[in-house]
């Protein structure tokens, strides 16, 4: 038996900032699309009981990715066998005369 309008399910309420009981307001393909918090009566999309990431966590992830992308080229050169910061010599080219 699937979900029906008015059924009570748990979901994360952004307004209350906690996991609370919600009533199903609309369905899409047999699953909840919109829900209404039974504590503060605000309507929102169904979030599958997942809290959205905080802005602080998103900033930390962006900074980490920026640092990682600046370190990754050096790691790629080391994996090729060249020293970091020096260009690898092309085979077949010799500077000796």
pLDDT(26) > 90: yes
Q: Which of 6, 24, 16 is nearest to 51 (CA)?
A: 16
pLDDT(64) > 70: yes
**What's the farthest any 2 CA atoms get from each other in the chain?**
87
Mean pLDDT confidence for 74-93: 54
Mean pLDDT confidence for 9-29: 91
pTM of the model: 0.56
Q: Are 13 and 20 in contact (CB under 8 A)?
A: yes
């Amino acid at each position: 038996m699937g979900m029906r309008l008015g059924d009570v399910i748990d979901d994360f309420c952004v307004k209350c900032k906690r996991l609370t009981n919600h009533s199903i307001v609309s369905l899409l393909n047999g699953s909840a699309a919109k829900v209404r918090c039974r504590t503060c009566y605000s309507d929102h999309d169904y979030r599958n009981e997942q809290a959205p990431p905080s802005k602080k966590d998103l900033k930390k992830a962006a900074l980490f990715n920026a640092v990682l992308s600046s370190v990754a080229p050096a790691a790629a050169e080391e994996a090729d066998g060249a020293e970091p910061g020096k260009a690898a010599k092309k085979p077949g080219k010799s500077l000796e005369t």
